[in-house]
Each structure stands twice: as structure tokens, then as C-alpha cells.
Amino acid sequence: KHCLQLKMAKNTNIRISLPAVCFVWQIAMIILFGVFIRYDEESDTHWIEHRRKKNISTNLENDFYYRYPSFQDVHVMIFVGFGFLMTFLKRYSFGGVGFNFLIAAFGIQWALLMQGWFHHLDEHDWKIKIGVENLINADFCVASCLIAYGACLGKVSPVQLMVLTLFGVTLFAVEEYIILELLHAKDAGGSMVIHTFGAYYGLTISWVLYRPLLSQSKHLQGSVYHSDVFAMIGTLFLWMYWPSFNSAIADHGDGQHRAVINTYLALASSVLTTFAISSISQNNGKLDMVHIQNATLAGGVAMGTASEFMITPYGSLIVGFCSGIVSTFGYLFLTPFMEKTLKIQDTCGIHNLHAMPGVIGGIVGAITAASASESVYGQEGLINTFDFKDAVANRTVNIQGGYQAAALFVAIAFGLVGGALVGGILKLPIWGDPADVNCFDDDVYWEVPEEDENFLSRHPNMNHATSIPDV
């Protein structure tokens, strides 16, 4: 055990900084919630009066019943999906699932405030009124920070992650406001707003924090057999619930319904192309768990923007087909290239799973929007799907396509610029990040249980070393 501490050049003691950050930020949340956050009319006890006033015939029209099942699915994706996907490293499973838990729990609180100020601030009383849709949006917002965490996995301290999340949520809320409100772009599943932004944010941070000697911890950068199985829990819950992710805040009725079908098909399609490329790339056609764990999800990412559109079922299959191929090729060729040439160390390969499929999703969304027509959507359907009313009542689908493309650039720009700024802050030598030789090692931030020798000697069949004296 002593040998573990030998090469720890850096001070990774976070006994003051982590509790301080947690307490200060949580207390700030309480104060800001006290000032700003209230129940909306559907979660307030005045709902019964609201119902009568608005002539709503049944409690079922409460948005809760439209969106709660999708919310819970998204919630599982955030905490179990992202969390377990990051347990694949042989000795960083605690950090993968544990820090994911910490920053998501903080991020959703800060997101309720930031998104509330930008989107839901009541002009009369300056309060933010929250309901189930806000909870979903907060989960969405924090997803972008968890994507960014994927690039930094194993190389940063939990204090750095809290800073990354604080600024990430802030940037997200501004970027989202520009894309959804100012540009009036559509992005129900967040190909641009969540995935593209989150990935470039994380990659730029990882570039700023480049560690030339990271190979010193190379022995910890792989998986072991059962850590790969744990990661499949994350993969599958992300894969299964992605239709809920892309439909959670879509329009009631056909909007949610169609978003589910499109996402379900795109995901199925990318599984097959991922297996195909993974097999073709290896000796004897052996499959690589890294590809299966990640690239199978590319179809969900790439369907984020167009999920509500009439992209047609076979269109969804094509999107999944291409994004599965692109993503797997990314793991094969781009990740090593980026590490060697661009000096970007991307632990989870978020460039392949989120950045490229996110950009594909943005482009697909722009093209699908630009080619929408009344003959396909119906007159009312076209207006409903793109919300062509009020200020944008006269927008044509071509112009909408242009704004969709502009939104993609906004997302990339926010990721790159925001990542550079936040990366600079995280480079300060005060955050308790690990030395290169201690990266990817839970021992730095966690009390890791010792394997118990007494136990092993009582069960000689479990470790053959102890039975050697008998020979």
C-alpha cells in the first residue's frame, strides 16, 4: 500500500476544497431558490382553481401526466446511463459513477435557476415557476456537462468537475437561449444544444489540460472483464431510453409519438453498422467492447434535432446507419490521431459519440427542415411542428433550415470558446488534480476497500497462490 503514495508529486488533498465548494454552492442554491423559484400553476395547490378558470375537464391535462414517464426515463439516463457507461475503466469505477452523481445533483439545481432566468422568468413577480418540464430541461442541461466529463474522466479532481459544471450549465443556458429563442431553431433532443456543445466544451477543456506524460498511468487506462459488463448497464439504459430523451419535451400528441419512432429506428440501425465496422476492423473479426458500448448510441444523438420532423421511418434508419459507421471509425482512427497530433486526450471518446453524431444531427435537422412541405406535413402540421407563429409566423422552411444551420455553429462556438476559458481556470494549480502517474486511479479520491487476506486464506480455492505451499 505504501508504494501507492510514492510518486504522488501533486497535492490531491481535497479535504478542505471539496466540502467548501459543496457547502458554499448548496447554500447559494438554497438562497437563490428562496428568492426565485416557485411552483408553477400545475404543481401548486391552486391548480384546482386554475382548472376551473381555464375550463380544463380533467386532472390528466396536467402536464405531469404527459411528461412524467419520459422524465423518469431521462433521469435514469443521466444517473445510471452516463454513470455506468463511465465505469468501464478497471480502477476508476467509483469515480466514474460517483462523480457523475455529484455533478449531476449539483447541476440540475443550478440549471433550474439558469434556464429559469432565461426562459421562464415571470415578468410580473420576477419568479421562476417550475413544473415537470423544467425538471426534464435541467436533466438535459446537465447532460452536456456529463458529456464533457467523459473527455476528462480520470484526469481531474471532483473540485474541478464542480467548476466545470458551474460554468458548463451557465454557458448552456445562454447558448440554449440563443438557439431556441433568438434563432427559433428546433432541437427537441439536443443534437446541437446538448451533444455538440457538451462535446466541444469537454474536448477543448481536455486540450487545455493536456498531459504529455499521461502514459505513466497507461496500465490503468484499460478495462477488465467485469468493468466492461458494468459499462454495458450504462450503454443499454441510454440506448433503451433514448426515445424518451428525444421525445420528452416534444409537442403533445403526434410530436412525442413520432420522436419515439424515429429515435427507436435510428438506434436500431446504428447497432448493426457498429457491429459491422467493429468486426471488420479487427483480426479474426473480433468485436471490440469500446465500440459496442458507445457507437451503438450514435443513432440517438444524430436523431436529436430531427426527431420531431417528418423524416420518415427509412430516413431515421439511414441516419442511424451513417452515424454508427462514423462513430466507430472515429474510435478506430480519430481518437488516436487526436491524442497524438492534436494533443486532445479524450478518455471516453466523446468526439466519436457526441461531437460527430451531434454535428450530423444538426445537419440532418437543417436539411429536413429546409425540405419540409405542406404536402407532407399538412398546413396545420407544418405550423405546429416548427412553431411558425407570432414573431416567426411568416418564416419559410428554407429560412428555417438556414437558422438551424446557424444554430449548429452557435453550439460549436460556445463549446470551443467556453471550453478554452474554463480550461484556463481549471489549469490553475489549486484544484487538487492528480499527477500523471495517478490518473485513472480511484485510490486518489476514494477509500478503496482492501482485498482481505483472512478471507482468502479461509477460502483456499479462491486464490491459488495460497495453496502453493502445499505443492
Q: Give the footprint of its own copies on residues 51-90 (CB under 8 A).
A: 51, 57-66, 68-70, 72-73, 75-76, 79-80, 83-84, 87, 90
398 versus 457: smaller Cβ distance to its own copies = 457
Of positions 53, 252, 343, 389, contacts its own copies by CB under 8 A: 252
Interacting residues of 440 by C-beta distance below 8 A, sequence separation 6+: 89, 91, 92, 153, 154, 155, 217, 220, 221, 347
Longest dimension (CA), the chain: 87
Q: Per DSSP, what are the bridge partners of residue 129?
A: 38
The least distance separating its own copies from the CB of residue 351, rounded to whole angstroms, comes to 21
Q: Which residue, 57 or 394, is less far from its own copies as judged by CB?
A: 57
277 interacts with its own copies by CB under 8 A? yes
Q: Which contacts qualify for 122-130: CB closer than 8 Å, 24 or more apart?
A: 126/36, 127/36, 127/37, 127/38, 128/36, 128/37, 128/38, 129/38, 129/39, 129/40, 129/41, 130/37, 130/38, 130/39, 130/40, 130/43
Rounded Cα gap, residues 278 and 291, in angstroms: 6
Stretch that binds its own copies, among 163-171, 187-195, 246-254, 360-368 (CB under 8 A): 246-254
Q: Which is nearer to its own copies, 367 or 420 (CB)?
A: 367
Minimum CB separation from its own copies for residue 293, in Å?
10
Closest CA to 446 of 123, 97, 129, 204: 97
Query: With respect to its own copies, which residue has the nearer C-beta, 144 or 244?
Result: 244
333 touching its own copies, by CB under 8 A: no
Shortest Å, Cβ 346 to its own copies: 19
Rounded distance between C-alpha atoms, residue 175 and residue 419, angstroms:
13
User: Does 286 help bind its own copies (rule: CB under 8 A)?
Assistant: yes
**CB of 420 vs its own copies, minimal distance in Å:** 28
| Identity of residue 18 | L
**Shortest Å distance, C-beta 298 to its own copies:** 13
Among 123, 390, 450, 470, binds its own copies (CB under 8 A): 450
* Cα separation, 120 vs 130, whole angstroms: 8
Compute how many residues bind its own copies; rule: CB under 8 A: 163
In the complex, minimum distance from the CB of residue 8 to its own copies, in angstroms, rounded to a whole number: 10
Output the smallest distance, CB 42 to its own copies, in A.
6
Our finding on whether 118 is near its own copies (CB under 8 A) is no
Give the residue with the Cβ less far from its own copies, 248 or 350: 248
CB 356 to its own copies: min, Å: 19
Please count the CA atoms within 13 angstroms of the CA of 79 that sit on its side-chain side: 14
Binder among 282, 343, 424, 430 for its own copies (CB under 8 A): 282
Distance separating alpha carbons of residues 122 and 118, to the nearest angstrom: 10
Quick check: 330 and 364 in contact, CB under 8 A? no
Output the smallest distance, CB 207 to its own copies, in A.
27
Q: Which of residues 159-218 bind its own copies (CB under 8 A)?
A: none
- Phi/psi for 243 (5° steps) reads -55, -35
| Span 343-402, contacts to its own copies by CB under 8 A | 376-378, 380-382, 384-385
The count of other CB atoms within 10 Å of the CB of residue 398 is 11
Residue with smaller CB distance to its own copies, 226 or 343: 226
Sign of CA dihedral 73, 205, 164, 131: negative
Q: How far is CA 167 from the centre of its chain?
A: 15
Q: Which residues contact 393 (CB under 8 A, 6 or more apart)?
A: none
Name the one range near its own copies by CB under 8 A: 263-271, 339-347, 363-371, 401-409: 263-271
Contact flag: residue 4 with its own copies (CB under 8 A): yes
Q: Which three cell numbers stand for residue 136?
A: 426534464
- Assign 129 to helix, strand or coil: strand
> Which residues ranging from 398 to 437 are in contact with its own copies (CB under 8 A)?
432
Instruction: Kindly tell me which residue out of 34, 125, 391, 470 binds its own copies, with binding defined by CB under 8 A.
Output: 34
